[in-house]
Amino acid sequence: MRIPFLLFLLIPFVLFSQNPYPQDYFSDPLEIPIVLAGTFAELRANHFHSGMDIKTQHRQGLKVLAAADGFVSRINISPFGYGKALYITHPNGYTTVYAHLSKLAPKIEAYLKEQQYEKESYAIGLYPPIKALLVKKGEVVAYSGNTGGSGGPHLHFEIRDKNEHPLNPMLFGITTKDTKKPLISGLYAYPISEDAQINNSNSKQKIRLRKQADGNFTAGPIQAFGKIGLGVEAVDQQDLANNKNGVYTIKTQFNGNPNFEIDFKSFSFLETNDINRLIDFDIYKKDKDHIQKLFIDTNNELSLYKNTIDRGYLTIADSTSGVYKIKVSDFKGNASWITVSINGKKNPDVLTKTPKVTPYYIYEDKSLTLEEENVTVNMYKNTFYDNFFLDFKVANDTLQLLPIGYAARKNFRVAFDISKYNEADKDNLFIAELVGYKKWPSYSKTLRKDNTLYTYTKDLGYYTLVSDTVAPTIKALNFKNNQWLSSSKTLEVEIEDDMSGISDYRATINGKWVLMEYEYKTNILTYHFSDQKTVEGQNDFKLIVTDNVGNSSTFEASFHRK
Ligand SMILES: [Zn+2]
Whether 354 has a pLDDT exceeding 60, the answer reads yes
The alpha carbon of 82 and the centre of ligand 1 are apart by a number of angstroms equal to 8
The alpha carbon of 170 and the centre of ligand 1 are apart by a number of angstroms equal to 14
Q: Is residue 545 part of a domain?
A: yes
The alpha carbon of 8 and the centre of ligand 1 are apart by a number of angstroms equal to 38
The alpha carbon of 100 and the centre of ligand 1 are apart by a number of angstroms equal to 8
The alpha carbon of 388 and the centre of ligand 1 are apart by a number of angstroms equal to 34
Co-location of 338 and 194 in the same domain: yes
Q: Name beta bridge partners: 85.
A: 76
Whether 7 has a pLDDT exceeding 50, the answer reads no
In tens, the pLDDT along 203-247 reads: 999 999 999 999 999 998 999 999 999 999 999 999 999 999 999
Contacts of residue 544, Cβ cutoff 8 Å, sequence gap at least 6: 505, 506, 507, 552, 553, 554, 555
CATH number of the domain enclosing 556: 2.60.40.10
C-alpha closest to that of 237 among 225, 226, 248, 223: 248
Co-location of 461 and 483 in the same domain: no
**Chain-centre distance for alpha carbon 354:** 34
Sign of CA dihedral 65, 78, 166, 286: positive
Show the domain range for 158: 36-172
Domain boundary among 467, 496, 530: 467
Q: Are 102 and 61 in contact (CB under 8 A)?
A: yes
Give the predicted TM-score (pTM) of the model. 0.93
Task: Assign 3-class secondary structure to 88-106.
Answer: EECCCCCEEEEEEECEECH
Co-location of 333 and 189 in the same domain: yes
H or E segment and range at residue 221: strand 217-235
The alpha carbon of 147 and the centre of ligand 1 are apart by a number of angstroms equal to 11
Q: Is residue 261 part of a domain?
A: yes
The alpha carbon of 466 and the centre of ligand 1 are apart by a number of angstroms equal to 34
The alpha carbon of 323 and the centre of ligand 1 are apart by a number of angstroms equal to 38
Sign of CA dihedral 278, 283, 289, 294: negative
Whether 358 has a pLDDT exceeding 80, the answer reads no
In tens, the pLDDT along 134-188 reads: 999 999 999 999 999 999 999 999 999 999 999 999 999 999 999 999 999 999 9
C-alpha closest to that of 145 among 70, 64, 224: 64
In tens, the pLDDT along 451-479 reads: 999 999 999 999 999 999 999 999 999 99
The alpha carbon of 48 and the centre of ligand 1 are apart by a number of angstroms equal to 10
The alpha carbon of 40 and the centre of ligand 1 are apart by a number of angstroms equal to 8
Co-location of 77 and 208 in the same domain: no
Co-location of 329 and 454 in the same domain: no
Question: Rounded to whole angstroms, what are the CA distances from 183 to 209, 221, 234, 283, 297?
Answer: 12, 22, 6, 19, 25
Q: How many domains does the chain have?
A: 4
H or E segment and range at residue 395: strand 388-395
C-alpha closest to that of 336 among 453, 214, 450: 214
Co-location of 199 and 340 in the same domain: yes
Co-location of 212 and 336 in the same domain: yes
The alpha carbon of 153 and the centre of ligand 1 are apart by a number of angstroms equal to 11
Q: Is residue 17 part of a domain?
A: no
The alpha carbon of 451 and the centre of ligand 1 are apart by a number of angstroms equal to 41
Ramachandran region of residue 429, left (φ > 0), alpha (ψ -120 to 50) or beta?
A: beta
In tens, the pLDDT along 399-430 reads: 999 999 999 999 999 999 999 999 999 999 99
The alpha carbon of 30 and the centre of ligand 1 are apart by a number of angstroms equal to 15
As residues whose CB is below 5 A from the ion ligand 1, the structure lists 53, 156
Co-location of 290 and 412 in the same domain: no
The alpha carbon of 53 and the centre of ligand 1 are apart by a number of angstroms equal to 5
The alpha carbon of 167 and the centre of ligand 1 are apart by a number of angstroms equal to 13
The alpha carbon of 187 and the centre of ligand 1 are apart by a number of angstroms equal to 27
The alpha carbon of 194 and the centre of ligand 1 are apart by a number of angstroms equal to 41
Over range 328-338, report the average pLDDT: 98
The alpha carbon of 45 and the centre of ligand 1 are apart by a number of angstroms equal to 12
Domain boundary among 467, 484, 518: 467
Domain boundary among 421, 451, 467: 467
* pLDDT band of 131, cuts 50, 70, 90: confident
Q: Is residue 240 part of a domain?
A: yes
Co-location of 460 and 478 in the same domain: no
* pLDDT band of 14, cuts 50, 70, 90: very low
Instruction: Give the Cβ contact number of residue 536 at 10 Å.
Output: 9
Co-location of 209 and 154 in the same domain: no
Q: Is residue 145 part of a domain?
A: yes
Q: Is residue 27 part of a domain?
A: no
The alpha carbon of 51 and the centre of ligand 1 are apart by a number of angstroms equal to 6
* pLDDT band of 359, cuts 50, 70, 90: confident
Q: Is residue 21 part of a domain?
A: no
Co-location of 167 and 190 in the same domain: no
Q: Is residue 178 part of a domain?
A: no
Over range 67-90, report the average pLDDT: 98
CATH number of the domain enclosing 429: 2.60.220.30
Whether 16 has a pLDDT exceeding 80, the answer reads no
Co-location of 213 and 336 in the same domain: yes
The alpha carbon of 255 and the centre of ligand 1 are apart by a number of angstroms equal to 39
Rounded Cα–Cα distance for residues 372 and 395 (Å): 9
